[in-house]
Each structure stands twice: as structure tokens, then as C-alpha cells.
Amino acid sequence: MLVLFGRIVSLLAGTLVTHHPSIMETTKHAFLFFARQIPYQGQQPSALQQRAHCHPRHTDRSTNHIRQAVLGSLIGSYFLAAVAPAAAQLPVSADNVVITATRTAKSINDVLSQVSVITRLDIDETGALTLVDLLQRRANLDIRSTGGPGQTSSIFVRGSNATHTLVLIDGQRIASSTSGAAALENIPLDLIERIEIVRGPMSSLYGSEAIGGVIQIFTRKDNNHAADKNTKVTANFGLGSFSARHAQAGIEGNLGETRVLLTASRRTINAPSATNPLAGGLIFNPDRDAYENTSAAIKLTQQLWQGEMVSFSAWQSRGSTRFDSGPGNNAESTQTLRGVQLASDNNFTDWWRSRLTIGSTSDDSVVMSNFPGKFKTTQDQFAWQNRFATVAGDALLGFERRNEKVAATTNYTAKTRTTDSVFGSISQKVAEQTLTVSARHDKEDQFGSRSTGGVSWGYQLWKDELVYLSAGRAFRAPSFNDLYFPGFSNPLLRPEKSESGEFGWRLNRKAFQLNLALFENKIEDLIAFDSATSRPQNLRRARIRGWELGVDTNWAGIDWRTRITAQRPEDADTDKQLRSRAKLLGTVGGSANIGAWKLGSDLAMSGARFDSANEAPTSRMSGYALWSAFARYRIDPEWAVDITGNNLTNRKYELARGYNPLGRQLQITLRFSGK
């Protein structure tokens, strides 16, 4: 791992000079310090690494606007960093304590990775209709979607594949075992309390899929105030464009000594056709593609006399959407996602904390079209993790077992598999330095065993400034479709694997926060369809490198936020841009309180992409910028009215070639929250 760590220093130094020479001056002291600690043991760059990555540049007016906006935001961010007055370090609060990065509660100030947090307040104020839309606007993630709400959608974290991001709900995996992807389009925002997005390899803690990062969704929670026995009620009702209707209601209170939370919601929208003629005659259908979603959740929490906290939670989301499958074909897909979990949290001693969870998630899909089918995948999951305070540092040790089962109208060659895992980490802080090492071993009854690891080193330059270096290996196990789908599978496939590294610089002040990360990820044994054998094979390699910048500050009474990602997601063999991934992404937003009003606005931008693997000119999708705005009027402490607008300029753009995102959307929502 130290050899890999040394290589990362050299590779990232080159990336720094390539993208912004001034950044190298700002951060070179961190590299020099690191060089004195661990000697470089890497190899000379390969011919592939030395090759110039030159492509014909396609420019249009929208792309130029995006570049100008991003450049202006970048310059402004450095200006604000220079002039911001010295202030106390950002205080620790519930909003800046994260769990996903280390599998334990930890201040975001101390995490040696890039983490984004989206709160319930953020969700309400964006006015986003879908989870994918929210992740683009607040986490600056690349997305692909085959139409409006309910249509198949994908996200790309740091340019990796859609199946290279692990998605968890309350700590449990939810991706379909057949497709290998999570149905983000059918996870309603009404179920969500909080989202944490961790970028970078996380297989050393979570196992398969965590190549690009981890997205963890936390469902609605109760306040759990022991002294507060009052019953609380929340409700909202909204109307919007495209005949959109939305309603949600929730209640929480005490039933004896048990805290109870119940919530339910329903959303409908009569969206226009998901496709246009560019999709082709076998797919295009000009009819409307309506979507409806119904969701519900329950959570019970009980504090036992010996200090143990026991909780039970269950949730379900059922989405039904029309989709296009040729002229005159009223194709429809109904997907039901479910999760249930029993958890026990114990503080056995002052130095030993334990969490035990037993649960199950399922993805049940019924497709009615020219090619009908039923697919249900179930994942039974058990996890026991323990946190120890030791003389060697903060230690974590855990065990997991996951049983996957498939029931489908398609006759898969195999329908079950089991994965047993053991994982651990240790983190030690001495003076200004922090070192964290993590490792995991997964044993799966199809491909055998796989070990992964990660190491991070951080140095506290000043009270409010931190630099860090990290490196890790990750992998993704093939899905049931890859391995067992009749006639189009390959049971000899190997897991996809990656090696990546990152340099980060974090400045945390009370009224100003800056996060900068430079990263590189090399992925091998990528699974691709081989036309010669008509089966998937481990054929491809990818190399992704770039930088991310996040700035949050308060200026002129306005809370500003800026997120920029510049990346080169390329096929390592052809140097072609990876499908549906942009080289430049950015979001700029601000919000302010004015009397009883709260006003906010966001601008989400993306550069050009190709909806093909070979940069075919006919598959090129131009860059775009989408403007949204939000206004909330507080009638009294219990009642409020929200007015939101998305894509206010009615921008015509593409997220997939031949498919139509929604145009301008307006929405008004009446909210109640009281006792």
C-alpha cells in the first residue's frame, strides 16, 4: 500500500501542474512534508501515462457560458479565501457529523475524504422533483436519465460507472442483484431525512461497488428527545406543472416508553413523452408518460433499562411509470422497493461501542411491454460492528453476511449467492498528524475471495486548515445478469477492480469553508459486451483524473455555495471520453433570509457529453445550464408556503440521446409542522 501511496504523490503532482499551477504553490509544502515521511518507491510512468490526451474540441455558446461561470466562481473562491477574516474553526453540530466516511459518527472536520451532506432543509428548499435531480444540484454529480420522473436514471461519481457507486438506505444495500444498479428514480424525496455522499474508493469498509464512492440515504427520523413527550405532526400539499400533485403527512410521538414515527406520501405527474424521434422508430412513442409514487415508513425506538437502544424500521416505495417502447405500445413498469431492519446499539463500556443490525431489502419489478417480465431480488443482510478506544487509536472491527436471492420469469442459471465479510480500521492522531488504515476481506461463493485496503494521512497545518493524502483499492462483483442471464452472460467474469489516490486541502472557518481535492482512479477488468462472443468480457480499462472544489461562505448577508468538478474520464485504451460523462461540472447557489421570507437560487451546469463509447459525432450532447429558484414565506411558526421553479429559462437539453427531460416546472406547496 505504501508503494501505491508513493505513486499517488507523483501522479497528483502532475495533475496539479496541468490544471492550475498556482494550486501547486499553495500546497507544495504538504507534498514536501509527505515526501520526508515516506520515501517514493514507484516506477517510471508507462507509455500510456506519458501519452498526450488530445481530442478535437467541440465548443458552443452554452459550453462557453459554463466555462465563464465556472472560471468566475473559481476566481471568486480564491479571492474570498484571501480576504475572509480569521475566525474560529467550524463548530461541531448534528449537521456536520457524518457516519458514512468511517462507518462511525465523526466530525466532518476530521474526515480525510471529500464528503457532501444534504439535509431535509436542503431537500425542501431545492424544489427538486427527483433524487437524481437533487444529487446533481446539491452534490454536483454527473447524471443520465431517459426522460422525466420515474424513468431510468444513473449517477456517475468522479467519472466512474453508474454501478461503481454503492447506494445504502440506513446502512443496507438496495441495488438490484440482477442489473447491479440502484433504482434511484423510485426513491422518493419524502422518505429522506439526510443524504451523505463520500467520494473515492470505499471498498475497504463496504466491499463491492464502492469504486467511485458511497451514497447513504437516511430515512425520516424522530427527534428522539427523552424529555419531549409531545406528539408532533407534519403535513404538506403541493400543486405544480404537468398536473403534478403531491401530498405528505407524518406523525411522531410516544407510545408508552417507545418513540414512534409514521410517514406516508403520494406524488403524481402527467409528464410529456419521455422520447423524441432521435430515439428511433422502435422506441419513440409521442404519448404522455405519467408517473405516480406512493411511499410509507415506520420507525420505533426504545431505550432499554441497561442503556441499550433498540430500533425497528420499515419502509416501502412503489413507483409506476409509463415508458416508450414503440408506437401504440402502452408500456408500463411498476417497481416496489422495500426495506426492514432491526438494530441494537450498545455502550458496553467507556471504550467499547457495538451496533448489531439484521434486515432485508428487496427490489420487485413488473414490466408490461413488448418484452414483459418479472424480476425480484432480495438481500438479507446481517452486520455487527464494534468500535474500540485503544492505546493504538480509534479501532473498528466488523462482520457482515449478505444472502442474495433472485426470483424472475427469466430462468437464471444460478439464483442465490452468499458473501461473508470481515472489515476493520484504526485511526491514530498524534499532534498535528492523523493516520488511518482500513482493510476488508470478502468471500463470495461465485468468484472466491477479494481483499481491499485503504490508507489516509492528514496534517493539521493550522487550527482551521488540513491537508491529506489517501490511497485505496476497490472492486465491483459482477451482477447476476453479467454472470447468469440465459444466452448473454459469462460465469467466468472477474470482478472489476480499481486503484486510486487523492490529495485534499480543507479550510474550515466559521463563516468560510473551502474543500479542494485532486484525484486519480485507474479501473481495470471493466466488463463490456464482446460482439465476437456475444457475451460480456473483462475487456476494458479506464483512467479518470481531475479536481473538485467546494466553497461555502457568507457575503453581503447571503449564504453562497459553489461546487466545481473538472475531470478527464477516459477509456485507457482509446483515450475516448467515457459515455455520458462531462469533463466540466458546476453548481453555484445562494440563499438569504429577509423578514418572514427565505429566498434562494441555484445554477447547475454541465459540459458536453457523448452518449456513446466512441465519441460518435451523432451522439454528442451539448452542455447546458439550468436555473432554479426558491421562495418560502413563513405565515407563523407552524405554517409556511413554498414556491419553487426548476429550469426557469425552459432550457432544451439532453441527459440521454433521444430522451426528453422536463421543461420549465413551477410548484407551490403549503406546509404545516406543529404539535
CA 39 remoteness from chain centre: 35
* Cα separation, 297 vs 312, whole angstroms: 11
User: Judging by beta carbons within 10 Å of its beta carbon (0-12, 13-18, 19+), is residue 465 exposed, middle or buried?
Assistant: middle
Is 575 in contact with 49 (CB distance < 8 Å)?
A: no
pLDDT of residue 574: 94
Apex CA 577: angle with CA 573 and CA 579, to 5°?
110
**Structure-block grid coordinates of residue 615:** 465519441
List, run by run, the mean pLDDT of 10-residue segments along the chain (675 residues). Answer: 44 40 36 33 34 37 44 40 38 72 92 95 89 95 95 96 97 96 96 97 97 97 63 95 97 91 97 94 93 97 88 97 89 97 94 97 94 95 96 95 96 95 96 96 90 97 94 97 93 96 94 95 95 91 97 94 97 95 97 96 97 94 97 96 96 96 96 92
Torsion of CA 606, 607, 608, 612, to 10 degrees: -60
Please name every residue paired with 333 in a beta bridge, in sequence order, or none if there are none.
Answer: 321, 367
pTM assigned to the model: 0.87
* Cα separation, 653 vs 147, whole angstroms: 11
Is 212 in contact with 198 (CB distance < 8 Å)?
A: no
Beta strands in 120-159 (DSSP E): 142-145, 153-156
**Structure-block grid coordinates of residue 383:** 452486520
User: Judging by beta carbons within 10 Å of its beta carbon (0-12, 13-18, 19+), is residue 477 exposed, middle or buried?
Assistant: buried
Tens digits of residue pLDDT in 292-306: 999 999 999 998 877
Q: What is the DSSP string of 405-457?
A: EEEESS--S--EEEEEEEEEEEEEEETTEEEEEEEEEEEETTTEEEEEEEEEE
Q: At what angle do helices 2-19 and 21-37 cross, to 10 degrees?
A: 160
For residue 84, give the nearest of 515, 513, 563 by alpha carbon: 513
pLDDT of residue 409: 94
**Exposure pattern of 107-132 as b/e (b: 16+ CB <10 Å)?**
ebbbbbbbbbbbeeebbbbbbbbbbb
Phi and psi at 338, nearest 5°, equal -140, 155
Please give the single-letter amino acid code of residue 285. N
Q: Could you give the C-alpha distances from 424 to 3, 105, 246, 290, 365, in angstroms and in order?
A: 21, 15, 44, 46, 36
Q: How many CB atoms lie within 10 A of CB 256?
A: 7
For residue 445, give the nearest of 485, 466, 425, 415 by alpha carbon: 415
Please give the single-letter amino acid code of residue 3. V
Q: How many CB atoms lie within 10 A of CB 534?
A: 9
